[in-house]
Amino acid sequence: MTFSLQQMNLNRRHCIVLTANLAGIGIYGNAAATASPPARPANTILVVGDSLSAEYGLKRGTGWVALLEQQLQKEKIQAAVVNASISGDTTSGGRARLAALLTQHRPTLVVIELGGNDALRGLPLNLTRDNLLAMTRLAQKSGASVLLLGMQMPPNYGRDYGLRFSRMYADVAKITQAALVPFFLKGMADASDSMVWFQADRIHPTEEAQARMLGNVWPTLKKGLK
């Protein structure tokens, strides 16, 4: 059997097309199938907080957690930030949510900013303490380090209650060896011009206060990064 030059060229082109198609579906070469998944960042920071971390009353992207992301980028630190904060949340709510958050996000650092709403609702200090302790231990058991953001109560709660409340964070940090920012709102709530830093409700910090809040957190948080 003989083939014309035109037939040979057609067969040749057919072979080239067939080879390309086979390669595309993985019979020749398997580059697409074996491509490595995107690398996980060296750090994943999970923030579990209440309205102070959930940008209550603020424009989206102006809260201290958003500023934290900008700070990480500025310092070229490879990290993902997950803000799981919910306005009005208590330590009981945070404790109930934490296990699923740890499984979903696998954080390397968990920032716990809870407790203020417990006091506002008059919940027992022992309950708040137990919840903070359980959350810290659960996060540590998952392999994450923990940073507690402490709070203080205004004088109208009474001196004794105020002391016991602020010491609660220090006690949990000491028991678990977690990192601690003693007072998250230092330089604002305890300032002589404190009302300048708060919204009209006198509870939630203004947009201008967010940089100070990050400033209180950043030095300790940075130490917990890889």
Active site residues: 51, 201, 204
What is the DSSP annotation of 162-205? HHHHHHHHHHHHHHHT-EEES-TTTTTTTSTTGGGGB-TTSSSB
Structure tokens at 196: 């300048």
Q: What Å distances lie between residue 185 and 22, 170, 181, CA to CA?
A: 63, 16, 10
For the CA atoms of the chain, what is the radius of gyration?
Answer: 27
SS3 49: strand
